[in-house]
Structure 1
Amino acid sequence: MAINVLEFLEESVARNGAKTACADEKEAYSYDELADRARRAGSALIEVTGVRRPVPVFMDKGCKALAVFMGAVYAGCFYVMLDPSQPPARLDTIIKTLEPDVMIVDEKSRAKVEKLDFNGKVLLADELMDHIIDEDELGKVREQALDIDPLYSIFTSGSTGVPKGVIVSHRSVIDFIGYFTKIFNITEDDVIGNQAPFDFDVSVKDIYSALYTGATLQIIPKKFFSFPTKLLDYLEDRKVTTLVWAVSALCIVTTLNGFEYKRPSCINKVIFSGEVMPIKHLNAWREQYPDAMFVNVYGPTEITCNCTYYIVDREFGLDEKLPMGKAFPNEKVFLLDDDDRLVDVTMPGRLGEICVSGTALSLGYYRNKEKTDSAFVQNPLNDRYIEMIYRTGDLGYYNDNGEMCFSSRKDFQIKHMGHRIELGEIEAAMGAVDNVVRTCCIFDKDDNKIIGFYEGDTDKKTIVHELSAKLPKFMIPSVFSQVASMPITKNGKIDRNKLMEDYKSEC
């Protein structure tokens, strides 16, 4: 059993080092080249930071970023991808949480570091990858490695306006990827088309499925998802076989009638997550690829990507709902009602919070004990020994066939455009705008849009301008609605149902 994910890389090097490990629009690395660059970067990092320390990687996704990730791991550290397109204020919050010694940049992102509140060492990726390999120091770091060491951290939206850094261990990734690749028959013959940003957990499946099996990872430029013809050309030209994509990315192709232009010929696996897959779009994809495997996977970042899967094995009507399916091996997924009683499969339609236990659970939230302790708890059904579970905050139920299905969020966290979003973070940012008195954000599932309600004497243009400096684009509400006052329930909370009723009546 592997202890460190570097064993994935090194075993693929040993099997076929000359094979392409990864490629982006500009360059490609063989497995030999990827490992060499990573070992050089790791040797350099050992000189400037300590083991189990965070290494922020501030650059666009690509082969270079992947080599730096592995370099951080060779140094015994964990990596954190920082998207240069994110607002500096949000990045500063993440940096403050991490307290890193170093930050790695490329030439393109170098100038943007000056806008950040960071006083550590800024290191250039190209220079790191030219460093001399120090076998002795790499060996010393490796000797002290544990499978519970942190591997990466991904910052998700926080309900209080502060992003939360989910931190995931080597052990969790090793456990999950072994089952993921076996169940979906991902092999060295596959070409994985990476859609997800590297600061989004879907990319973890792309990266480590490739490294584990020796497959090739084709990193698709983000801009191509705005131009379906270029996207489909890329998939065909690069002979992509496997798509592990967010639902929203798949829907872009069908919404814009991409298949009328071209049908990439090599696709044989389509694995999707992030939101509920619209049946209309699923059927359109299946019509193009009747012999391909289509899989609905579910799970939050906190449990290392996914905890359930459903292999689509029949045609679904437009009014039907795709099941979440069953748990991955070595994971237990179950429902608890409001009184922490088990919702059994023999209780179809009864709602319960989706809870997960198993090796895939993350290490919690980095430097955030309060949030960790509220979400990662002792299984209330087990009073005999320690069994930690993650309470997802999602509601699920069993259908008449005994299959688990997703219902909605228990709180106000949503899935939108492939991202997990806490509406509270948007509300906090809106509330900081001058002359905004009170805010409330609601996700309109029917129209797939976030509505920002606010009291106060300011205009929508000002709010959008302020939010653009604090939040990524996918978190900025599609619609803003000014109200004279927020309706209040009898227990003193904002009446969200009344807000939506009034809004709908005015539309």
Structure 2
Amino acid sequence: MTGPDRPLLHELFDERAGRHPDRIALRDAHGSLAYAQVKLRSDWLAAELHRRCPRPGALVGLHLERGADVVVAMLAVLKSGHTYVPLDPSYPAERLLFTARDARLALVVSDQEMPAELAELPVLRLDAIDQPVAPVPAPPAEVTPDAPAYVIYTSGSTGRPKGVEVPHRNVAAMVRACARRYELREGDVWTLFHSYSFDFSVWEIWGSLLTGGTLVVVPHATAASPQATLRLLIDEAVTVLNVVPSVFRHLTRAAVRTGALPAGLRYVIFGGESVDIRDVRAWRQAAGRTTRFVNTYGITEATVFVTYRLFTDEELDRAEDAPDGSAFAFDIGEPLDGWEFRVVGEDGAPVRPGETGEILVAGDGVALGYLNRPELTAERFPVLPVPGGGTRRHYRSGDLARLLPDGMFCFAGRADDQVKINGFRIELGEVEARLQDAPGVRELVVVRTVSRIGEPMLTAFYTTPEASSVDASSAGGELDEREHAERLTAHARRTLPAHMVPGRFVRLPELPVNPSGKTDRKALSAWQGHTPRPASAR
């Protein structure tokens, strides 16, 4: 990727549009837009946004169905000198209202009637205004590369989501660094597979558009169906697919079962979860060896990606039961150019072989901090000494890594109660805080468990004031528990995004405790359908 010295995302896009105006930039269920058309529409919308919010630096919410207009609106917000804040309409209205109030949005761009909970917000309805037919110059944007391009809200351990501010400079650096690692082509076809409230989409959108690719926006219903997704990959001749491993597992099973194999797929880029190498090997056995598979380690606060790990043919050809047959899948890999990571113990010193420590990230990807949260920003983005002298700003990830004897680092989980489900980073404390006040709940704990088919999921264990008196073995008790679970599920869906709603609610007479008197989360995580016993009773 090339670009001017001022790495502003909209300027980099306009540069691409000037080089190949007639190339297709976006495709969705309604049709295609060439780069020149995207520039025309975003310039016009930027002028309208500037008219409504003339002072630069405003935060503008995007409440749009997944489609080409999402990307046009992002560009328009940036061209008007503002910052975009995703408000995915599939999220609960209460969550969107919290985001809108916390970010103090100046305006919301939408294409639909707003939920009643958001009626207080000023709205610009794209579906109520005519599309431009003649060029309208974008307003001069008084913005620097260090200005925030977007704010994405992530799960918060205290029950309060937090907005991560990421500047233009970081995103441009991320795309440039990845372009050095991947053999990206101007004619590549990418998918926007994920919600634009999930930071994986940042790479999908800007990785495609700033390298001259075509971005195919995957409808939500298609993304939810492995068979429909495979058909889209084939029909659109997709060459670059970004996906979380648990979703890829379902794609692989569907491809093997149906024989629907995207022959032109050049890259599968994993993020958000650990990779099951068995799925990659199954795909290669069915589809051949032309696709390259890349694992990444990344964090919203470090601008999507930190490291890169290409799986080699030699590694993927090993027998599963051979020494290190699959262990390489947990390697964190090499940092991107401009990114740095260190793994340190509790004393702040680098870990030694065999030891586990926390991952600290420094360099080009470190975000500006948390929106309107100076204390939390100071805590999680400290300025720390670096080897060789001096200091540098870091992000304390809370992720753990173990140093192997060969000098490689492998991922070793979380230092707190944060988990990842289907690529989404979830603070269990936030889910618990939203469910603790549900009617009929006395105590409630949420843990990561494994489903009957081996998939990670959230399970909420709870007690009720009358739980000890209920005979769960009776038919009436079973019906009562189902009713409880249905009410809790409905409550969760009203207050939490879909990816944070527990897949199972289990009522217990009491929650197990460990010898320290704390809830025994380990026992709950190992739940197999029987009442977990406290550690002291074993």
TM class by smaller structure: over 0.9
Which secondary structure does the structure 1 equivalent of 2:165 belong to?
strand
Distance 1:420 1:502, change over 3 A: closer
Cα deviation, residue 490, structure 1 = 5.0
- Partners of 2:337 and 2:175 lie apart in 1 by 11
Q: State the one-letter code of the partner of 2:259.
A: Y
Q: How does 1:73-92 map to 2 (within 5 A)?
A: 73-92=78-97
Distance 2:7 2:255 in 1: 45
Q: Secondary structure at the match of 1:155?
A: strand
Residue 341 (structure 1) aligned with residue 341 (structure 2): no
TM-score, normalization: structure 1? 0.92
1:360, distance to aligned residue in structure 2 (A): 0.7
What is residue 130 of structure 1 aligned with on the other side?
132
Whether 1:70 and 2:108 are equivalent positions in the alignment is: no
How far off its partner does 1:495 sit?
2.4
Q: Which moved more, 1:482-491 or 1:384-393?
A: 482-491
- Cα shift at 1:359: 1.4
Partners in 2 of 1:462 and 1:398 — Cα distance?
Answer: 46
Match of residue 329 from structure 1:
337
Contact 1:68/1:125, CA 8 A, preserved across alignment:
no
Q: Where in structure 2 are the equivalents of 1:365-444 lying within 5 Å?
A: 365-381=370-386, 385-444=390-449
Residues 506/484 of structure 1: CA separation in 2 closer, same or farther (3 Å cut): closer
Distance in structure 2 (CA, Å) of the matches to 1:251 and 1:354:
28
Larger CA Rg, structure 1 vs 2: 2
Distance in 2, matches of 1:355 and 1:312, equals 24
The correspondence of residues 266-285 of structure 1 with structure 2, limited to 5 A, is: 266-285=264-283
Counterpart of 1:483 in structure 2 is 508
- Percent identity, aligned pairs only? 27
Name the SS of the counterpart of 2:52 in structure 1: coil
Gaps of 5+ in 2: 467-483, 533-538
Greater mean alpha carbon deviation, residues 468-477 or residues 40-49: 468-477
Distance 1:253 1:480, change over 3 A: same
CA distance in 1 between counterparts of 2:277 and 2:204 reads 24
User: Which stretch of structure 1 is more off in the superposition, 116-125 or 77-86?
Assistant: 116-125
Please state how far the C-alpha of 1:385 moved relative to its aligned partner: 3.9
- Scaled by the length of structure 2, what TM-score is found? 0.87
Map Cα deviations across residues 136-176 of structure 1 (whole Å, 9 max, x no partner). Answer: x712x2xx321100001111111122211111100101111
Secondary structure of the corresponding residue to residue 61 of structure 1: coil
CA–CA separation in structure 1 for the residues paired with 2:530 and 2:440 = 27
Instruction: For 1:227 and 1:262, locate their aligned partners in 2 and report how far apart those are by CA, in whole Å.
Output: 13
Question: Which among 43, 47, 52 is matched to residue 51 of structure 2?
Answer: 47
Q: Letter of the 1:341 partner, please give it.
A: A
Deviation (angstroms), 1:188:
0.4
RMSD over aligned CA atoms reads: 2.2
The residue correspondences of 1:452-471 to structure 2 (distance < 5 A) are: 452-457=460-465, 459-471=484-496
| Aligned equivalents of 2:260, 2:494: Cα separation in 1 | 38
**What is the CA-CA distance between 1:326 and the residue it aligns to?**
0.9
Aligned counterpart in structure 1 of residue 188 of structure 2, from 187, 190, 193: 190
The aligned length equals: 496
Per the TM alignment, residue 489 of structure 1 is displaced from its structure 2 partner at its CA by 4.1
How many Å separate the matches in 2 of 1:78 and 1:364? 14
- Which residue of structure 2 aligns with residue 58 of structure 1? 63
CA spacing shift, 1:382–1:494, aligned 2, 3 Å: farther
Q: Which moved more, 1:440-449 or 1:39-48?
A: 440-449
User: What per-residue deviation string (whole Å, max 9, x for no partner) do you get for residues 206-252 of structure 1?
Assistant: 11112211111111112113333322221111111111222222112
Amino acid at match of 1:171: R
Distance in 2 separating the partners of 1:443 and 1:455: 18
Contact 1:48–1:101 (8 Å) recurs in 2: no
Instruction: Determine the C-alpha separation between the residues in 2 that align with 1:11 and 1:153.
Output: 24
Letter in 1 for 2:42: A
Match of 1:343, SS state, is coil
Q: Deviations over 1:474-494 (max 9, x none)?
A: 212222222333334455532
SS at match of 2:410: strand
Q: How does 1:113-152 map to 2 (within 5 A)?
A: 113-126=114-127, 127=129, 129-130=131-132, 135=137, 138-139=139-140, 141=141, 144-152=142-150
Kindly state the Cα deviation for residue 373 of structure 1 after the two structures are TM-superposed: 2.0
Gaps of at least 5 residues in structure 1 are none
